[in-house]
Amino acid sequence: MKHTLKVTLIIVILFLITQLFGIFTVSQNIEVKKDIVTGKITLEHQKTIVGQPIKTETGLQAVGIITTAILIGTLVLLFFIKLKLGILWKYWYLIAVIMTMATTFGVYIKFFSIKLSYIIALMLAIVLAWYKVYKKNILIHNITEIFIYTGIAVLFVRMFEGWLWAAFSILAIVSVYDIFAVRMSKHMIKIAKYQTKNKLFAGLSIPYKPTTKEHIEKKEIKKGARTAVLGGGDLAFPLIFSGAVMSDIIIKRGIEKMLAVALTSIISVTATLALLFLLIKAQKDKFYPAMPYLTAGCVIGYLVILLFF
């Protein structure tokens, strides 16, 4: 087993919560429309604090945008690492955290005028982001990760509406990339270590308790203490895929929105089981590409959903 049972369960539970909360939030940001004449069903995505969720004209365009974003993001971060520009990574990270969390909060904060609701959502996101980045509170860090990747899903799921094959393609592309980045080039390991060292990790991060009296007295984690991590992409891509499946079964199968959420949660469960399998199978102190396992879990979940139709 890669981590202790306690740490493994924390990671798995947080992953599942992110997937379930994320898919529910995506559903809350869409309205199902049905043409009374043709019977055609469409989905209307509500505007967010950062604008309208992204819409693409073709599935190929959706794949291209996501793939390009991954490559550019990786190159920029490697550039920061190479030139030791940690301060730029901190501000980039801070802005991304604020915008994605504010997107999530904006889905639920609708008690006031649109402008005032957005301001409240943004202020809440800023406060939590400040604690996350400057106070280094591990509880805040992991709770906010749930809101961050939910916000990403709200913004990106629309790209795959009508192009479910593109969502499958992204899972395949990211899985291959993950294998290459972890096993061959190993630049993903370099990035993970850099983020962990700077305590600005994009993803779940569960530090083990200091193991010696010296560590406890200095209140710091040095060599010998470990941190269990799960990258942000491992949270985001299964969630985006689930959102694409939910949209697809609403439009093509004509089922009620909350039933679609319930069915799609099957993918959340099977992806979680795939993650649990990996963490149990993996060896201590070794890095593994998680996306191939999560992709397998997502595909199995989708096949189970098809059994209902």
Assess contact for 195 and 202: CB atoms under 8 A: yes
Residue 45, domain member (yes or no): no
Residue 235 φ then ψ, to 5°? -85, -40
Pairing of strands 30-34, 203-207: unpaired
Task: Provide, rounded to the nearest whole percent, the portion of the chain with pLDDT above 90.
Answer: 73
d(CA 31, CA 24): 13
Residue 169 lies in a domain: yes
Q: What is the DSSP letter of 283?
A: P
* pLDDT tens-place string over residues 40-80: 999 999 999 999 999 999 999 999 999 999 999 999 999 98
| 284 compared with 158, residue with greater pLDDT | 158
Cα gap 224→59, rounded to integer Å? 47
Q: Is residue 290 within 8 Å of 252, Cβ to Cβ?
A: no
Q: Which residues contact 106 (CB under 8 A, 6 or more apart)?
A: 48, 49, 117, 118, 121
Which among 147, 145, 169, 155 has a CA at the least distance from the CA of 295? 169
Question: Torsions phi, psi of 83, nearest 5?
Answer: -95, 5
State pLDDT tens for residues 131-144.
Answer: 999 988 899 999 99
- 290 half-sphere exposure, CB direction, 13 A CA radius: 28
3-state secondary structure of 225: strand
Question: What single-letter amino acid sits at 9?
Answer: L
Q: What percent of the chain has pLDDT over 70?
A: 94
pLDDT exceeds 50 at position 220: no
| Cα 242 to Cα 207: distance, rounded to the nearest angstrom | 29
Q: Is residue 280 part of a domain?
A: yes
**What interhelical angle do 232-253 and 138-156 show, nearest 10?**
40
Q: d(Cα 299, Cα 171) in Å, to the nearest integer? A: 9
Domain presence at residue 16 = yes
* Residue whose tokens read 């005032």: 116
- Write the pLDDT tens digit of every residue in 238-250: 999 999 999 999 9
Range of the structural domain that residue 87 is part of: 5-29+57-306
Kindly state whether residue 198 falls inside one of the protein's structural domains.
yes
Residue 200: pLDDT band by 50, 70, 90 thresholds?
A: confident
30-34/41-45 β-pairing: antiparallel
pLDDT of residue 225: 58
Stretch 232-238: mean pLDDT, rounded? 96
* Residue 268: other Cβ atoms inside 10 A: 24
Cα–chain-centroid distance for residue 37?
A: 39
CA distances from 61 to 25, 26, 51, 72 (A): 25, 21, 19, 16
Domain total in the chain: 1
Global confidence as pTM: 0.92
Instruction: Identify whether 299 is part of a domain.
Output: yes
**Domain assignment of residue 62, yes or no:** yes
Least confidently predicted of 37-41, 210-214, 249-253? 210-214
Q: Is residue 35 part of a domain?
A: no
